[in-house]
């Protein structure tokens, strides 16, 4: 009997940054009804799950990641009725909905923090991380914020410092207090009862901090650019005890049918794999694998990362791949427009669950913004390195058509971030009408992935291609085997494939047009920036054994 796979193993996850997807009410900010108006578009992408970045009430100091109420909808995005309708329509089309969960910190306007900061003797006084000034005054220790400066802000009313690893308006919850974590589980139950299919859990590895509040050691590899990187953060993240909390979250999800969670974890393989847990104590269904985002875009480098990750996976763990999100420069900006299709083919043909970021399917690029248009606190707080760390360039509005504001908002409306200047040609309408566009290629590849088990759930095996410019690998399921060959170079190359692959294959898909339907594997030529997907003939059981990873 063949193995049964869960929906989150078979499907593609598509991330929507709600502020930037579709404005429906003329305020320049995307909203739930805007997303609802585009559900048919989402269906056309052949994706299986929609992940929404935060839509909770928030003062928007970090654009929703400073949550003021975990169990409501921010009026900027709509109402709970709008959310319910969107959930119904997504489910009606056979897709799933994943919502962001932000358990590490709240807004300083959350009622929990308002009560906690009142004094040191109230019911929630230790729901957050408070510390007295150091002897003689000053900061409790040397901990730093991701957003620049110290991780401590002094509160005059309490006469103590509170901790925040992000904006000062994002105080950190004290999950060593069992009441706090139980409140978080109640939040999860609230959204599960509403029918959501899973959670993307923000900074899941940071939930606990060193109870002794020891200084963090210097980072000898610091390049002198980003202050946060000047320390090794061994006391503010990835503490062993955090896994006990994650296991409790997983137990709650396992008590419901077909629910899942994705954990945001930026860690190397040896530590990342711990967030899967084990057979008797499972944790994240998918700890996010961000490694390819920072890997040099060279075939050998990428192959090495993929093979090392596959080899590190614990038994039964399911892989996943990410090439873009709301915190990283756009895919087409990082690898270039010429390689964007190759990167898309890589993402959608590796073994495991891919996560796609809105707009990457049409080739959106970062938008260069002048300082007066910056909204991201990372850029505003650290202007000298805003070009490196600012996240506004990858959060600009989705480009739907060539009209004013790219169809994101009505003409005359000022979008919350400027629309890219290329929107008259790079947009959904134009690319939908062009069978050679990157959007048409994306749809063809996602449709194929949905119908071809070798791609959606099949085994993986990399193979030597005789050149440093090509990454080649096999995907196989039963008697079906596909070859993926990706040319990372901007010139034609002739890979030398193993003879046991055979002499001929059937072209399934190429990143460019005009290829013959029969591919000669013994004399293969790949055009510059070309990726191909080839079906291999499997004549007998012996051949199948040799082709299978």
Give the bridge partners for 282, in sequence order: 277
List pLDDT tens digits, range 386-432: 999 999 999 999 999 999 999 999 999 999 999 999 999 999 999 99
Q: Which of 11, 172, 197, 202 is catalytic?
A: 202
Overall pTM > 0.75:
yes
Give the bridge partners for 386, in sequence order: none
User: Domain 459-547 carries which CATH code?
Assistant: 2.60.40.1180
pLDDT number for residue 513: 87
Where do the structural domains in the chain lie, given as residue ranges?
7-104+178-446, 459-547
List pLDDT tens digits, range 515-528: 999 999 999 999 99
Please return the burial class of 322, using the count of CB atoms within 10 Å of its CB with bins 0-12, 13-18 and 19+.
buried
Please return the burial class of 257, using the count of CB atoms within 10 Å of its CB with bins 0-12, 13-18 and 19+.
exposed
Out of 22-26, 243-247, 535-539, which region has the weakest mean confidence (pLDDT)?
A: 535-539
pLDDT number for residue 1: 33
Q: What is the 3-state secondary structure (H, E, C) of 373-401?
A: HCCCHHHHHCHHHHHHHCCHHHCCCCCCC
Work out the average pLDDT over 290-303.
98
Residue 28 pLDDT more than 90?
yes
Domain at 7-104+178-446, CATH class: alpha beta
126: nearest Cα among 173, 68, 183, 67: 173
- Would residue 469 show up in a list of annotated catalytic residues for this protein? no
Residue 45 pLDDT more than 70?
yes
- Residue 261 neighbours by CB under 8 Å, 6+ apart: 101, 198, 199, 200, 201, 249, 250, 253, 284, 285, 286
Residue 539 pLDDT more than 90?
no
Residue 456 pLDDT more than 80?
yes
Work out the average pLDDT over 434-456.
97
Work out the average pLDDT over 445-450.
98
Residue 546 pLDDT more than 90?
no
List pLDDT tens digits, range 180-232: 999 999 999 999 999 999 999 999 999 999 999 999 999 999 999 999 999 99
| Residue 73: φ, ψ to 5° | -110, 135
pLDDT number for residue 90: 98
- Would residue 210 show up in a list of annotated catalytic residues for this protein? no
pLDDT number for residue 545: 65
pLDDT band at 548 (very low <50, low <70, confident <90, very high): low
pLDDT number for residue 53: 98
Q: Which of 62, 66, 100, 264 is catalytic?
A: 264
């Amino acid at each position: 009997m063949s193995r049964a796979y869960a929906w989150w193993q078979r499907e593609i996850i598509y991330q929507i940054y709600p502020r930037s997807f579709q404005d429906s009410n003329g305020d320049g900010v995307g909203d739930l009804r805007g997303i609802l108006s585009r559900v048919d578009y989402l269906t056309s992408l052949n994706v299986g799950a929609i992940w929404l970045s935060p839509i909770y009430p928030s003062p928007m100091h970090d654009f929703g990641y400073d949550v003021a109420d975990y169990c409501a909808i921010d009026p900027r995005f709509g109402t709970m009725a709008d959310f319910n309708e969107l959930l119904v329509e997504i489910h009606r089309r056979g897709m799933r909905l994943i919502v962001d969960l932000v358990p590490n910190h709240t807004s300083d306007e959350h009622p929990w923090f308002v009560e906690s900061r009142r004094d040191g003797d109230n019911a929630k006084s230790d729901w957050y991380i408070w510390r007295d000034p150091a002897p003689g005054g000053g900061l409790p220790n040397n901990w730093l914020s991701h957003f620049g400066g110290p991780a401590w802000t002094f509160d005059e009313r309490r006469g103590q410092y509170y901790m925040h690893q992000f904006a000062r308006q994002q105080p950190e919850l004290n999950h060593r207090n069992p009441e706090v974590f139980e409140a978080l589980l109640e939040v999860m139950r609230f959204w599960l009862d509403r029918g959501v299919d899973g959670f993307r859990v923000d900074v899941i590895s940071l939930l606990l901090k060193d109870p002794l509040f020891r200084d963090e050691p210097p980072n000898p590899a610091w390049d002198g650019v980003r202050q946060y990187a000047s320390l090794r953060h061994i006391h503010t993240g990835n503490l062993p005890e955090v896994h006990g909390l994650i296991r409790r979250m997983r137990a709650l999800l396992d008590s419901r049918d077909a629910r899942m969670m994705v954990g945001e974890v930026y860690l190397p393989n040896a530590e990342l794999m711990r967030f899967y847990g084990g057979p008797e104590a499972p944790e994240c269904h998918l700890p996010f694998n961000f490694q390819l985002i920072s890997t040099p875009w060279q075939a050998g480098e990428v192959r090495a990362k993929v093979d090392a990750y596959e080899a590190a996976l614990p038994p039964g763990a399911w892989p996943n791949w990410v090439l873009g999100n709301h915190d990283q420069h756009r895919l087409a900006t990082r690898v270039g427009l010429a390689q964007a299709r190759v990167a898309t083919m890589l993402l959608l043909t590796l073994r495991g669950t891919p996560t796609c970021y809105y707009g990457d399917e049409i080739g959106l690029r970062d938008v260069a913004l002048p300082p007066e248009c910056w909204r991201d606190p990372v850029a505003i707080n650290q202007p000298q390195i805003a070009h490196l760390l600012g996240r506004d360039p990858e959060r600009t509005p989705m480009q739907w058509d060539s009209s004013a504001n790219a169809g994101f908002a009505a003409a005359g409306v000022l979008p919350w971030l400027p629309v890219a200047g290329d929107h008259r040609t790079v947009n959904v309408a134009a690319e939908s009408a062009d069978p050679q566009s990157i959007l048409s290629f994306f749809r063809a590849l996602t449709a194929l992935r949905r119908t071809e088990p070798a791609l959606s759930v099949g085994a993986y095996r990399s193979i030597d291609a005789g050149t440093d410019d090509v990454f080649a690998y096999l995907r196989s399921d039963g008697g079906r085997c596909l070859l993926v060959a990706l040319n990372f170079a901007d010139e034609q190359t002739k890979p030398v494939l193993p003879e046991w692959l055979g002499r001929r294959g059937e072209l399934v898909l190429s990143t460019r047009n005009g290829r013959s339907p029969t591919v000669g594997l013994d004399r293969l030529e790949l055009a510059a920036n070309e990726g191909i997907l080839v079906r291999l003939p499997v004549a007998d059981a012996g051949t199948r054994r040799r082709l299978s990873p």
